[in-house]
Structure 1
Amino acid sequence: MERMTHSAAITSLALALIMAAPAAHAICGTAEGACTLPDGSYELVLPSDGQGAVPAVMFLHGHGGSARGVLSMRGVISALTDRGYAVIAPNGARRAEDGPRSWSFLPTFGGRDDFDFLPAVLADAGERFNIDAEHSVLAGFSSGAFMVNYLACERPDSFAAYLPVSGGFWRQQPEDCAGPVRLYQSHGWTDGVVPLEGRILGGGRFIQGDIWAGLELWRETLGCATHAPDRMWQEGELMLRSWSCHAEADLTFELFPGGHMIPQGWADRAINWLEASELDAEHTD
């Protein structure tokens, strides 16, 4: 479905990000350095100066990616750990023995139940590394971003907030979601892999959804009385709009210039948004 995406995205990312060295990843005793669960594995980076329980950003790779590939995004990892966040990078499951790793956000995909697996990873990291699960968030790129949206929709209380990049829902998208969430969604204006309007794949077997329609679903979930955003603004080449129509949730959409990639400065902007919210006052005090 996204066979052309991962290598191109990593190349764009490498050119766009400042490549600072990350903290060493935590090792659970295996030769590969991955932490293992019955249904899969993950890798983890801790902030160098973390004391006590620390919040985490769980980041889901794109189709064909891996946890190790996520940790190779040194600019993103360093930006997050420098802000005091651990980074948890789960490995997607292979749908065939030698197939690419991805996420089962649709029932037709079969395989591992990632709606159970990802919260289990967070709980395991909490026990092993003193991760503050209550203030940890779920992020993802491309297929990982689709998984972020679907988990947020189906099980909104699994993470404190959701940060999808370059992905939304598929058609037919859910008619409703289980509850409101805090969500910061980012998408590229010229994304041709996951266009803003969606596209048809596999001879019509799969249809990427319209990003704007997904935002409408989230507005309805938040109970917004109007489609119009509460705020619209521009930061350099970034165009943003936000909706704050729920006492315990909010929605921000970031439209950036460029294609299927993680834009430069995304990690700091996402954490700024997370920590600026009054909903996260307990963590930021």
Structure 2
Amino acid sequence: MRALALLLAVCATAAQACPGRDAPCEIDGGTYRIVLPEGAAPAPAVVFLHGFGGSGAGVLRQTGMVSSLTARGWAVIAPDGRPRQGRNGLRWSFDGAEGRTADAFLRAVAADAAARHGVDAGRMVLAGFSNGAFMVTYLACRDPEAFAAYAPLSGGFWEPQPERCAGPVRLLQTHGWRDPTVPLEGRPLGGGRRVQGDIFAGLQLWRETNGCQWDDPEGYATTGQFMRRRWDCGAGSALEMALFPGGHGVPDGWADLMLDWFEALPD
């Protein structure tokens, strides 16, 4: 009994030292913030990666998205990227150039949130916007089993994109039809020194990774402003694309669309 009481006291102290919303939780390699839903634990969670120049605190200020997720019983975890040299804000470096392995850091965030806050480590979706979406895409390619599913929003691969990925994924790709910052067809940056990849070429790689026999979708649907197409391929995989008519931003209704998609997947 004394051992149990000591364990509970240690856990309570750890949670108190990591409130999550008003102050970041610190782990080796970085920080994150978290908002928990009301109700019994363990709650599923969306780990949402901010865009270029953003922060975890900025993600939590997107109250519409956060409220939509927590209202459905999901926690929201918002990790912080690394500082941009000589500039304000944070960024994600999917190639490891930021001095830490971002993949390992995000896995550590998930494990820490499960241990400290009681979220369900087996039901975590890694999502992200823009620069965060690129990070999501590369982690999904390198380590598809790190999270239960992936949901990049307004981002994909850079050129040259990988020739292959490690294994089948469950992934929802969402993109704005009129996005000028990350166009569907990609664009050069820095005078051509770096080139954003074509989102449709990325989908081709995902179809190959998931073992799709044909390129044409198995299903089409329209949900609100989202035009959707779905590929049903190899066991344990799921692939869907959702286009919306807007530009570079998190569209209204995305949170519910993503949760509906994930919750409908087979266990």
Q: Normalising to structure 2: TM-score of the pair?
A: 0.90
Number of equivalent positions: 253
Partners of 2:70 and 2:189 in 1: CA distance: 37
**What secondary structure does 2:108 align onto?**
helix
CA shift at 1:150, angstroms?
A: 0.3
Shift of the alpha carbon at 1:239?
A: 1.2
Equivalent residue, structure 1, for 2:38: 48
Q: What residue is the counterpart of 2:241 in the other structure?
A: 253
In structure 1, the residue matched to 2:99 is 111
**Is the CA contact 2:55–2:89 (under 8 Å) kept in the aligned structure 1?**
no
Q: Output aligned runs, 1:256-267, within 5 Å.
A: 256-267=244-255
Aligned twin of 1:195 = 183
1:131-210 aligned within 5 A: 131-210=119-198
The 1-side partners of 2:131 and 2:45 are apart by 20
Deviation at 1:194?
Answer: 0.0
Question: Which position in structure 1 is the counterpart of 2:7?
Answer: none
User: How well do the aligned residues superpose, as a CA RMSD in angstroms?
Assistant: 1.8
* Aligned-pair identity (%): 54
**Is 1:33 paired with 2:23?**
yes
1:74 to 44, 51, 63: 63
Counterparts of 2:101 and 2:151 in 1: how far apart (Å)?
A: 21
AA aligned opposite 2:26: T
Alignment CA distance shift 1:114-1:147 (3 Å): same
Is 1:83 the counterpart of 2:76? The answer is: no
SS in 1 for 2:158: coil
Contact 1:141 1:166 survives alignment (8 Å): yes
The CA deviation string for residues 208-233 of structure 1, in whole angstroms up to 9 with x for no partner, is 00000000000000000000011122
Q: Establish whether residue 64 from structure 1 lines up as the match of residue 53 from structure 2.
A: yes
User: Rg: which structure is higher?
Assistant: 2
- Given the two structures, how large is their TM-score scaled by the length of structure 1? 0.85
Gaps of 5+ in 1: 1-24, 280-285
In the alignment, the residues of structure 2 paired with residue 253 and residue 151 of structure 1 have an alpha-carbon distance, to the nearest angstrom, of 18
Tell me, in whole angstroms, the C-alpha distance in 1 between the residues paired with 2:112 and 2:53. 24
Q: Give the deviation of 1:246 after TM superposition.
A: 1.4
